[in-house]
Amino acid sequence: MTKKAKYTIWGKDLDPAAISQMDDAVSLPISIKGALMPDAHKGYGLPIGGVLAVKDAVIPYAVGVDIACRMKLSVLPIPFGEYETNKDRFRQALETQTKFGVGEEFNSPRQHYVMDEDWAFSHVVKSLKDKAHKQLGTSGSGNHFAEFGKLTLLQDDIGLKSGEYIAFLTHSGSRGAGAKIADHFSSLAKRLHPELGKPLNNLAWLDMKKGEGLEYFKTMELMGRYASANHEIIHDAVLGFINEKALATIENHHNFAWKEKIGLQSVIVHRKGATPADIGVLGIIPGSMAAPGFIIRGLGNDESLRSAAHGAGRKMSRNAAMKLFSFKDLQNILQKKKITLISAGLDEIPMAYKNIEDVMDQQKDLVEIVAKFEPRMVKMAPPGRKKRRKK
């Protein structure tokens, strides 16, 4: 290890394990600069909420297991006052137009031009094409969701008049194909860097001047387009079911790597559980199933590598949440907030997450809030459909 690169921390009382992981990440000989977001917690290699700029390399576990995990929001041409009269129709749309959980797929694959792209440039990518096609239009496990809610726009913006709208919000990524690709290239990176040892080998990298790094990056970008197509199909299907078209849409990745510059230096910026927040760039930062999310506009803070949090962030593990809380606890909070939950595991109980309002307050120098989204009807993977974490 060499002299540590500089990194800046946002937030308070962060998981010490996440800080330790960030310390390890900036000690890599390829590291240029880093940042840790206020929703940060422990992950594989780079912490979730970690941002890392490196030179001439890409780190599979700094992108994440769920490559190109992504948010998308569609604003409907329906005032929120009509939510109750449309509630049954919204529920039917969520229950019939997508599927949740590990291994879920459609018997009749959905069609999208992303499947007409070149999937044969890599043997691992080629081997996963059929799986990816069958899962197109499905949603993942863990904290992935599809939900209707109230969007409050306090002033005219994003091409809309101020007011309260019904909006549809989704969170999902590259599904089983992305997970297999992450496993393959992470294992390859570890074999190429035996000098790292444990636990640093989860930060093993691929050289962007060699075939392995170029192949991973091309694969990651394909998974980015695939994840985008996945959201597009879900939104088209759900909105088509209720016979509506979006007035406006916003979307962004938060598990990805980008070719960017720090001054005149070309770098690869990894955002693992972090939202791009360059000047004027719109994004989505969700809360939990019972907490608000936000449409944001980036302020382009260079110290955060033009990044922000990607959500509230967990304050306890999934196992801890399931031991500490019951489904009665979950029902109580949902009833108080008048939220309809179609399905979810107890590990996603809102109390397992940090306070999203605090997280937003801790990054006022990274983003400005454009609108607030409050969940009203939520669908996630049912209990028993969560066999692995998706970050």
Active site residues: 310
Distant-in-sequence, close-in-space partners of 41: CB < 8 Å, separation ≥ 6:
14, 15, 17, 18, 47, 48, 49, 313, 314, 315
Cβ burial, residue 50 (10 Å; 0-12/13-18/19+): buried
- Name which of 147, 156, 163 is nearest 74 in CA terms: 147
- Residue keyed to tokens 């990056």: 217
Dist. CA 369–CA 284, nearest whole Å: 10
Q: Where are the beta strands (DSSP E) in the chain?
A: 6-9, 31-41, 48-54, 57-58, 70-79, 145-153, 163-172, 206-207, 248-253, 255-262, 265-272, 274-276, 282-285, 293-298, 307-309, 340-343, 367-380
Whether 39 contacts 313, CB under 8 Å: yes
Dist. CA 240–CA 220, nearest whole Å: 30
CB atoms inside a 10 Å sphere around CB 174: 34
Continuous H helices in 164-210: 175-192
SS (H, E, C) 48-91: EEEEEEECCEECHHHHCCCCCCEEEEEEEEEEHHHHHHHHHHHH
Amino acid present at 375: P
Instruction: Put residue 129 in one of left, alpha, beta given phi > 0 → left and psi -120 to 50 → alpha.
Output: alpha
Query: Dihedral sign, CA of 9, 321, 253, 145?
Result: negative
